[in-house]
Structure 1
Amino acid sequence: MEIKKSEFVKSAVYERDYPEKKGIEFSFIGRSNVGKSSLINSLTNRRNLARTSKTPGRTQLINYFLIDDNIYFVDLPGYGFAKVPETVKKNWGNTIETYLKSERDKVVFLLFDLRRVPSNEDMEMLRWLEYYDIEYYIIFTKTDKLSNNEKFRQMKEIKKKLEFSSEDVFFYSALKNTGKEELTEFIYEKVMKYNKNKGKKE
C-alpha cells in the first residue's frame, strides 16, 4: 500500500477546534526533535507536508493532515528538552493530555530516538497512554544513525528500562525510508479492521 494523497487541514489547541471526525486517526508523539514531522513526510512522500526543524519545540500545536481523503495523521507537540519557558511547556502538556482524553478513535505512535535510552518524560508519556487506555505502538526513529552492532547494544540498554514485545515496535529511518512499507501496511490494516468493526456495530 502507498499513500497517494495528503494535505494539511488545520492546527488546533482545544478540542472544539479539532476537525470533523473521519473515523480512526493515527497520532505521532515523542520528544522534541525525535523526528515526527520527518516521519510523516516520509510516509506521505511529501518533503514539506509537516514542518521540520532542527530547533526543538517547533511544533507547538496539534496539526491535522488528511490522508487519502479517509483518515487523519495527527502531529502532536513535542515534549522534553525544548528551550522554552516552563509555562509554555505546561500548556503543551495540557494540549497533549486534552487530545489523549478526547473521544476521538485513535492509535498513537510513540516515537523514540534509537540512539537514546527513554527519558523520564518518555516514561511519563507511556504511563499517560496506559492510564487513558489508548492503543499505542513504539517507533524507534533515526535507525540509519547506528550500525547493526550499535543497534543491538542500544536495544539491550533500552530493554533495561522498557518492556515491549517485538510486534508492538517499529524501526524507521525517514532519511532512507527504512520501515516505511511495514508501517504503511500496518496503518492500512488497522483502518480496514476499524471500518469492518464499525460496519458491524452500525
Structure 2
Amino acid sequence: MIIKKADLEAVAVKKMQYPDEGLKEIAFAGRSNVGKSSLLNLIVNRKKLARVSGSPGKTRTINFYIINDEFRIVDLPGYGYAKISKSISENWGDMIETYLSTRQNLIKVVQLVDIRHAPSNQDIQMYEWLKHYGLDGIVVATKADKISRNEMFKNISIIKKTLGLKSTDKVIPVSSLKRTGYDDLMNELERLLEG
C-alpha cells in the first residue's frame, strides 16, 4: 500500500463530531508516551501530520485522518499519563469507549506498547476493552531500535503473555526512527482493509 494523500478530516470529543461512516477506519491506541504520533507520521510518510509533543498527554481529542480518500486512520487519546487530572482521564475513558462501542465502520484498533517495558495495567485494560469489542489482534511494539535483537524476541514474548494474546494475534516491532517493521505494518493494514 502506498499512501499518497493524508489529511486531518475531523477532531472530535463527542459522537456528533465524528465524520460520516462511509469509509473503513483503523484506530490507534496507546499510552501517552508510547510514540503514537511518530508512528502515524511514519505510516503516512509525513513529518508533521500528527503533532509530536515533547510532553506526553497532549492528544485530548479523537483525530480522524482521511487517507488516499479511501479509508481513515483514527488517533485515539493517549492514556495513562500521571500528570493529567483524574476528571480529564475519566472523560478520555468515556470518549474512547463511546467510539469503540458505537462506530460501525471501525474494523480494527492497533494497540501500541513500548517494547522496552512489560505492558502496564492500563495497557492490559485497554487490550481487554479491545477484546470485548472484537477489535483486538494487532499490537505494535514501538521503539524497537532501542533494544538488541535478542531482547526484542524476549520482550515480544513478555508482551504476548502479559496481554494474553492468542497464537493468531500479531506483535509487530516498529522503529519510527529507523523504519524497522514499516513494511510488516503496512502489509497488515492493507490486509485489514481488503478483508
Normalising by structure 1, report the TM-score. Answer: 0.89
Question: How do residues 13-162 of structure 1 correspond to structure 2 at under 5 angstroms?
Answer: 13-106=13-106, 107-162=108-163
Question: Is the partner of 1:53 in helix, strand or coil?
Answer: coil
Q: Identity of counterpart residues, as a percentage?
A: 43
Q: Distance in 1 between matches of 2:48 and 2:82?
A: 22
Question: How do residues 177-192 of structure 1 correspond to structure 2 at under 5 angstroms?
Answer: 177-192=179-194
Q: Deviations over 1:106-139 (max 9, x none)?
A: 2100000001101110111111111222244111
1:175 — aligned with what?
177
1:199 — aligned with what?
none
Deviation at 1:160, TM superposition (A): 4.3
Q: Distance in 1 between matches of 2:34 and 2:82?
A: 11
Which deviates further from its counterpart, 62-71 or 129-138?
129-138
Deviation at 1:29, TM superposition (A): 0.2
Q: Distance in 2 between matches of 1:156 and 1:134?
A: 21
One-letter amino acid matched to 2:113:
F
Deviation at 1:11, TM superposition (A): 0.6
Question: Is the partner of 2:162 in helix, strand or coil?
Answer: coil
Deviation at 1:104, TM superposition (A): 2.6
Q: Distance in 1 between matches of 2:70 and 2:160?
A: 36
User: Measured at CA, do residues 74 and 82 of structure 1 come closer, stay the same or move farther in structure 2, by a change above 3 Å?
Assistant: farther
Q: Does 1:5 align with 2:5?
A: yes
Aligned CA RMSD, in angstroms, stands at: 1.6
Q: Deviations over 1:7-64 (max 9, x none)?
A: 1112101111101123321100011111111111001000000011121101000001
Which deviates further from its counterpart, 128-137 or 102-111?
128-137
Check whether the contact 2:118–2:159 (CA below 8 A) recurs between aligned residues: yes
One-letter amino acid matched to 2:129:
W
One-letter amino acid matched to 1:10:
A
Which deviates further from its counterpart, 180-189 or 150-159?
150-159
Q: Distance in 2 between matches of 1:42 and 1:127?
A: 27
Question: Is the partner of 1:100 in helix, strand or coil?
Answer: helix
Question: Is the partner of 1:161 in helix, strand or coil?
Answer: helix
1:200 — aligned with what?
none
Check whether the contact 2:6–2:67 (CA below 8 A) recurs between aligned residues: yes
Rg larger in structure: 1
Check whether the contact 2:142–2:174 (CA below 8 A) recurs between aligned residues: yes
Q: Distance in 1 between matches of 2:160 and 2:187?
A: 26
Q: Distance in 1 between matches of 2:169 and 2:87?
A: 38
Q: Distance in 1 between matches of 2:48 and 2:15?
A: 26
